[in-house]
């Protein structure tokens, strides 16, 4: 990770509320919380840099599970997009023992991230009856890994046959890389399908759209976090979408981190927010396909920014959109939206959604 990215971690951008307007009622509170998170992330990145070196800083992200252990000298990295797991250590005492323990723990991690602190080296991983990676990783005999005995045997095989060694700065880094099965993404999507269908029916949102957003946001990583503290499978931000959804449900305040890191709560909140965009913030768009393109873009950058692409006046923006064909709306949003990320986001989600229509 370079210094520019480290700076982004320390000075995360202030967010605009999900309706595209600044929320005066909650603004002071969430700025305070966001600043606190920025400080935490900055201190954490600094600690990792001091131990591993400037070129070896690795921190959890939306599609990357990164967990440190062994006084930060050992870490596990699951890239849910590429489907690769890397476990590595710079321990100078017993690196093989450190690697073995981390491999076993990583293979058996549960699918409930609520009690796991990704910003510490605490040994707080709970091994569940069906690990998060069950069926997504096969051992050297081609079997899925559910229990500690099989995980330990596979760890021993990896250390004997797949151990790698490299030098970075003053450190010798020992590592093993474990590939996930080719269809790992589909396996995770299928795991969350009952929750997605329940939310889709409750809020009137297409299941294929929910799945496409989950893939684009997190690659179905329930531990997903971002430098702006978006959380979980659908990357819901407590202070913006979280507040809007709680208000919609008649609740005061905002959801907690542990609430949003629960997969079912996260899918419910993300889908509820999609329904708000669909029926309220962007409900003035008449054509369902045009509205879907606007909703997708707004999920990334806010409804206000979508409307301002067409006019600074809200009513005029709706009239302009309603005078255009869906393909014209799509082309406008993918070429003229001020955020390059939002322009790409519409393309990514629309492309991904095509592969989930069977659901």
Output the CA torsion sign for 136, 137, 143, 147. negative
Contact assessment for residue 238 and residue 260, using Cβ atoms and an 8 Å cutoff: yes
Residue 121: is it exposed, middle or buried by C-beta count within 10 angstroms (0-12/13-18/19+)? Answer: middle
* pLDDT exceeds cutoff 50 at 4: no
Q: For 337-352, what is each residue's pLDDT tens digit? A: 999 999 999 999 999 9
- Among residues 56, 81, 217, 264, the one annotated as catalytic is 217
User: What average pLDDT does the structure give for the chain?
Assistant: 89
Residue 65 and residue 159: Cα distance in Å, rounded? 22
Q: Which has the higher per-residue pLDDT, 233 or 119?
A: 233
pLDDT band for position 3 (50/70/90)? very low
The mean pLDDT value for 239-248 works out to 93
Considering only CA atoms, which of 36, 41, 97, 42 is closest in space to residue 70? 97
Residue 114 and residue 110: Cα distance in Å, rounded? 10
Residue 258 and residue 232: Cα distance in Å, rounded? 10
The mean pLDDT value for 246-261 works out to 93
Q: For 296-312, what is each residue's pLDDT tens digit? A: 999 999 999 999 999 99
Ordered by start, the domain boundaries in the chain are 56-181, 184-355
56 an active-site residue?
Answer: no
pLDDT band for position 33 (50/70/90)? low
Q: For 70-107, what is each residue's pLDDT tens digit? A: 999 999 999 999 999 999 999 989 999 999 999 999 99
Bridge partner residues of 66 (DSSP): 77
Bridge partner residues of 168 (DSSP): 171
Q: 22-26, 170-174, 190-194, 347-351: which has the minimum mean pLDDT? A: 22-26
What is the pLDDT at residue 124? 63
- The fold adopted by the segment(s) 184-355 is Lysozyme (1.10.530)
pLDDT band for position 35 (50/70/90)? low
The mean pLDDT value for 260-281 works out to 97
Residue 11 and residue 218: Cα distance in Å, rounded? 22
* pLDDT exceeds cutoff 90 at 8: no
Contact assessment for residue 175 and residue 162, using Cβ atoms and an 8 Å cutoff: no
Q: For 305-332, what is each residue's pLDDT tens digit? A: 999 999 999 999 999 999 999 999 999 9
Residue 23 and residue 19: Cα distance in Å, rounded? 9
CA angle 216, 222, 224 (to 5 degrees): 65
Q: For 9-18, what is each residue's pLDDT tens digit? A: 333 322 223 3
Considering only CA atoms, which of 228, 234, 244, 186 is closest in space to residue 209? 234
């Amino acid at each position: 990770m370079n210094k520019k990215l480290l700076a982004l971690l320390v000075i995360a951008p202030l967010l605009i509320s999900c309706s595209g307007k600044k929320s005066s009622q909650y603004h002071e509170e969430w700025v305070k919380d966001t600043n606190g998170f920025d400080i935490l992330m900055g201190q954490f990145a600094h600690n990792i840099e001091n131990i591993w070196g400037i070129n070896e800083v690795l921190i959890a992200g939306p599609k990357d599970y990164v967990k440190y252990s062994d006084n930060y000298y050992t870490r596990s990295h699951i890239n849910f997009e590429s489907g690769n797991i890397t476990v590595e250590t710079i321990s100078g005492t017993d690196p093989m023992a450190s690697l073995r323990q981390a491999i076993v723990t990583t293979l058996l991690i549960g699918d409930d991230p609520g009690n796991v602190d990704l910003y510490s080296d605490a040994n707080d991983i709970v091994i569940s009856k069906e690990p998060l990676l069950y069926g997504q990783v096969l051992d050297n005999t081609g079997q899925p890994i559910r229990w500690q005995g099989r995980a330990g045997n596979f760890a021993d095989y990896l250390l004997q046959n797949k151990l790698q060694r490299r030098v970075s700065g003053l450190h010798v880094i020992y590592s093993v890389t474990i590939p996930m099965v080719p269809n790992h993404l589909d396996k995770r999507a299928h795991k969350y399908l009952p929750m997605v269908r329940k939310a889709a029916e409750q809020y009137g949102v297409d299941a294929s759209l929910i799945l496409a957003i989950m893939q684009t946001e997190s690659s179905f990583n329930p531990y997903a976090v971002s430098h702006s503290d978006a959380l979980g499978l659908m990357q819901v931000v407590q202070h913006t979408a979280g507040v809007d959804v709680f208000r919609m449900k008649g609740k005061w305040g905002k959801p907690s981190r542990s609430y949003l890191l629960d997969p079912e709560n996260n899918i419910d909140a993300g889908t509820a927010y999609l329904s708000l965009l669909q029926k309220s913030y962007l409900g003035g768009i008449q054509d369902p396909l045009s509205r879907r393109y606007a909703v997708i873009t707004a999920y990334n950058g806010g409804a206000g920014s979508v409307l301002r692409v067409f006019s600074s006046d809200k009513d005029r923006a709706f009239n302009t959109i309603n005078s255009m064909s869906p393909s014209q709306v799509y082309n406008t949003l993918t070429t003229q939206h001020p955020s390059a990320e939002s322009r790409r986001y519409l393309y990514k989600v629309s492309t991904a959604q095509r592969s989930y229509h069977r659901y």
